[in-house]
Amino acid sequence: MSLIELRDIRKTYHLGEVDLQVLKGVSLAIEKGELVALMGASGSGKSTLMNILGCLDHPTAGEYWLDGQEISSAGSNDRAKLRNRLIGFVFQNFNLLTRTSALENVVMPLNYSHEHLSEHEMRERATKLLSLVGLSQRLDHQPSQLSGGQQQRVAIARSLINRPRLLLADEPTGNLDSHTSEEILSMLKRLNEDEGLTIILVTHDPGVAEHAKRVIHIRDGLIENTTN
């Protein structure tokens, strides 16, 4: 079975009198170990689909199978648990805690996890991940003391701390120059190839999308075509 399977996902927002249908029946399967790019112009329903994939939102109708579980009707607390356990997020604007060391930023999601680790184990795991992204010399640096690329690498380390099945990267290179973007993308690729991590890259930039093995185009709330 695929890691992710969407069956006829629909999402409708109720804006007062008007119903705005954003997703009009999206069906999609993503296998374990894939590196997929999700492309679409703004207003195409890309963000909504990403929110549903990331368990931040629930669909109005349809089935969402994640890791063998049907979760389209999960409550907000259950979705929070799923996010913590299965999904890692990387954002365009890094979203690191200010005036907090890189190490503490990486440890933060463990506070909400249900595997109870000791303080020492937490730090050990975070240190390992930070050296994986090449920041072993900067454990105690605060975000303001790091470059954009370094900040995004801290964010990647943070997304991996709970050993997720799926990494959801929302415009991960949107705030970076082209050189740093290449670095980040090759790091994501390496994670995909070496660790077998399933990654979904959400972007509107074809240059970013070409790093993916498969590109899913979305337009007007429907999957347009899939290119390999």
Partner 1 sequence: MKLLRILVTSLRALRRNIMRTALTTLGIVIGVAAVIAMMEIGKGSTMAIQRTIATMGAYNILIFPGNIFAGGVSYGSGSSITLKPEDADAILAECPSVITAAPIVRSRTQIVYGNRNWVPNTMIGTTPAYLEVHDWTDMADGEAFTDRDVHNCNKVCLVGQTIVRELFAGESPVGKEVRMQNVNVKVIGVLKPKGANMWGQDQDDVVLAPWTTIKFRVTGSTLSTPNLSTSAATTASTTPLPSQVYPNTSLTLYSVPSATQTADTPAPVHFANIDQVVVAARSAEDIPAAIDEITSLMRERHHLRGETPDDFTIRDLTEIVKTMSSTTELMTNLLLIVALISLVVGGVGIMNIMLVSVTERTREIGLRMAVGAQGPDILRQFLTEAVVLCLLGGIFGIGLGRATSWLVRVVKHWPTATSLGAIVAAVAVSATVGIVFGFYPAWKASRLDPIEALRYE
Q: Which residues bind partner 1 (CB under 8 A)?
A: 51, 54, 56-57, 76-77, 80-81, 83-85, 89, 91, 95, 97-100, 104, 108-109, 111-113, 116, 158, 162
Q: What H or E segment, with its residue span, contains residue 21? A: strand 18-30
If the CB atoms of residues 119 and 194 are measured against partner 1, the closer one turns out to be 119
Q: How far is the CB of 82 from partner 1 (least distance, A)?
A: 8
- Beta pairing partners, 191: none
Q: How far is the CB of 107 from partner 1 (least distance, A)?
A: 9
If the CB atoms of residues 100 and 227 are measured against partner 1, the closer one turns out to be 100
The candidate with the shortest Cα–Cα distance to 98, out of 85, 87, 108, is 108
Q: How is residue 160 annotated by DSSP?
A: H
Q: How far is the CB of 117 from partner 1 (least distance, A)?
A: 10
Q: How far is the CB of 153 from partner 1 (least distance, A)?
A: 17
If the CB atoms of residues 68 and 75 are measured against partner 1, the closer one turns out to be 75
Q: How far is the CB of 124 from partner 1 (least distance, A)?
A: 16
If the CB atoms of residues 101 and 181 are measured against partner 1, the closer one turns out to be 101
- Token match 């975070």: residue? 126
- Beta pairing partners, 23: 11
Cα gap 45→48, rounded to integer Å: 5
Instruction: Specify whether the CB–CB gap between 62 and 69 falls below 8 A.
Output: no
If the CB atoms of residues 108 and 222 are measured against partner 1, the closer one turns out to be 108
Is residue 33 classed exposed, middle or buried when 0-12, 13-18 and 19+ CB atoms within 10 A define those classes? middle
3-state secondary structure of 13: strand
Q: In the chain, how long is the greatest CA-to-CA distance?
A: 56
